[in-house]
Every structure is written in C-alpha cells, then in structure tokens.
Amino acid sequence: MASSTSRGEEAGSPCPECKVGRLVLDPARAEVTCDRCGLVTRENLIDTGPDWRSFADDPRGSSPERAAPLSSLQHDYGFGTVMWGSTDAHGRSVSSNSMPQLKRMQKWDRRSKFRRGTERNLATALTEIRRMSASLDVPRSVQEVAGRYYRSAAEKNLIRGRSIDSVAAASLYAALRTSGVPRSLEEIAEVSKVDRREIGRVYKVVAHELGLTLAPVTPQSYIPRFASRLTLHPETEALALAFVKQAVLAEVVSGKDPKSVAAAALYIACILRGEPRTQRDVSEATGVTEVTIRNRYKELVASLGITFDFKA
C-alpha cells in the first residue's frame, strides 16, 4: 500500500466533516470518501503495483514516486508531458537567459498536443467538467466517469450541433446518476453555462446513445446528502430512510419529485426523534419549498400510519 502519508484521515475513522459517516477506502477509485456526505479526504493514493521500486540510491533520496494514474480527466489520459510555467522538469526555476528557449519549447509542446481539433475539444470539455465538479464537490471517481461518458459521446459524434459545455454538463449529470449520488438538473445548471432545459435534452440523447442503464432517481439517494446538510443524528437519518423505503413500497410517491419525498421524510423523522427542524430549515437544505414539504409529509403520515401523539 501507499504508505499512510500526510494529513489524510484513515479509512474507518469517522468523517471529520459530517461527524456521522465513516471514511471508506475505495481501491478501485483510489480515494477515501465519507460514506455519508461524500466528502473526499484523500485522492490519488494510487498504488498500481508494478511500479514498485526503490529509490534508495537515488541522489534525490527515497521519495516514493510512482507513475501517475491514468485519468479520464485529462485529454491525453494524463500521459503527456506538461510544459508550462518557468520551471524545468525537476521544479527548478529556469535561468532567465534560457527563458526564450523554454517558451519556444512550450509553444511546440502545446501545438503537438492540440493539433487535432477533437483533442482540443476534449481538453476544454474535461476542464469544464472539473470546473463544475469543483463547485459541486463531486468525488473524483464520478468525474472520471463523466470524462468517459464525454469521450464516448464524442466518439459517437454526438457533439456535432451541440455545445461542448452542454455535453459536458450532461455527461456529469449522467455520471452522478449512474454513480448513485445524483444532483438535480437545477444543481448542475447552476454551475453550468448551459441552462437546465438544454442539459436535460442533451442528457437524454447521450444516455440513450451510450445505452446507459439509468435507474430512476430514488428518494433514498438524497437522504444522506440532505441529512448531512441538516446535521442530523445518524438514527434520525436512518429513520427517514426507513420512511422513504416504506413510502416507495406503498407507491404513494410515484410521480413525485424524489427530492420532495426525501425532504418530507427527513422532516418527519426530525420531529419524531425530538431533533426539531423547521420546515424552513428543511426547505433550505433541500431546495424544496415549504408548501411542497407540507403536502408530502401529510401524505406520508397518512399512508404510513405515523402518529404524532406528543408535541415538542
């Protein structure tokens, strides 16, 4: 294993962010994330076996260097050389009299990389995906998926006639959904240059053409994120989750926005557990209006036979 270096919290320990979840190591994705709120504490702790070698007699000391992981997030899968700034390959700054030469090298380096239009498009798209992801706290693993989707979309010529940004946003949206940590179209649209309508339309095409198995968004998938925002006790969250499951089984929520169901379930769970949150609180944390929360929670209470025999 990559030695447990640096600042990072270890897998298994409680999440420093939400205090509720546990940190889990995902070797396939090479990151440590919170299983509740999705906080990513450590990324790129890649250990790709074959590269193991000793640097014991390296003049620079035994720094644990390895080959960088292949990444869908870079247009050349992270393979390419990187030449910019005013430092050489070892990070040493370049003397001023050789700067012109360096700049020339950088110029040709760029040209060789971006010669083909598709490559350049890909690069901008992936940058866009990273930019949006940063605003939305999207785990790196999901970004990778989004990158792959975009790549596939590009290969199928789905970009023609559509903007790069719209396909990038759609890819990210799709990746979030297939990864089980959905964000709503609104949330994507907020950080995208493209409006929600457009993203939705492009998403439909992309999802269809790529043959993505798109499970409908369940209210369940919103619970952890919302609970985290409301800073709820884990048992309260669990209770809300139970309500949601019952509601889904009882088919009282079909056709309803899954967000609203999750919001209502959380609201009920809060009250029952004596951890009161106002409808306004829940509304702000979930983006569902108070009116809708009321409507949902009345339905849930009625169909699940929940009784409020006490008042806080």
CB nearer DNA, residue 102 or residue 301: 301
Residue 294 near DNA by CB under 7 A: yes
Return d(Cα 239, Cα 234) in angstroms, integer.
9
Residue 257 near DNA by CB under 7 A: yes
Contact with DNA (CB under 7 A): which of 50, 91, 117, 161? 161
Residue 280 near DNA by CB under 7 A: yes
Residue 306 near DNA by CB under 7 A: no
Contact with DNA (CB under 7 A): which of 94, 256, 273, 304? 256
Contact with DNA (CB under 7 A): which of 180, 208, 278, 302? 278
Closest CA to 222 of 250, 193, 248: 248
- Among the listed ranges 36-44, 64-72, 91-99, 287-295, the one in contact with DNA (CB under 7 A) is 287-295
Contact with DNA (CB under 7 A): which of 84, 197, 208, 235? 197
Residue linked to tokens 């598709």: 118
CB nearer DNA, residue 20 or residue 268: 268
- Among the listed ranges 38-46, 98-106, 221-229, 249-257, the one in contact with DNA (CB under 7 A) is 249-257
CB nearer DNA, residue 126 or residue 266: 266
- Residues 29, 141, 167, CA angle at the centre, nearest 5°? 150
Contact with DNA (CB under 7 A): which of 76, 290, 303, 304? 290
- Among the listed ranges 14-22, 42-50, 111-119, 291-299, the one in contact with DNA (CB under 7 A) is 291-299
Return d(Cα 223, Cα 263) in angstroms, integer.
8
**Identity of residue 41:** T
Residue linked to tokens 């940590």: 181
Residues in 105-144 at the binding interface with DNA, rule: CB under 7 A: none
Contact with DNA (CB under 7 A): which of 113, 151, 193, 196? 196
Return d(Cα 275, Cα 268) in angstroms, integer.
10
Q: Considering the complex, what minimum distance in angstroms separates the CB of residue 256 from DNA? A: 4
Residue 39 near residue 18 (C-beta atoms within 8 A): yes
Residue 216 near DNA by CB under 7 A: no
Contact with DNA (CB under 7 A): which of 71, 143, 166, 260? 260
Residue 273 near DNA by CB under 7 A: no
Residue 279 near DNA by CB under 7 A: yes
Q: Considering the complex, what minimum distance in angstroms separates the CB of residue 220 from DNA? A: 15
Return d(Cα 216, Cα 66) in angstroms, integer.
40
CB nearer DNA, residue 48 or residue 278: 278
CB nearer DNA, residue 102 or residue 205: 205
Binding residues vs DNA (CB under 7 A)? 161, 185, 196-197, 200, 255-257, 260, 276, 278-280, 287-292, 294-296, 298
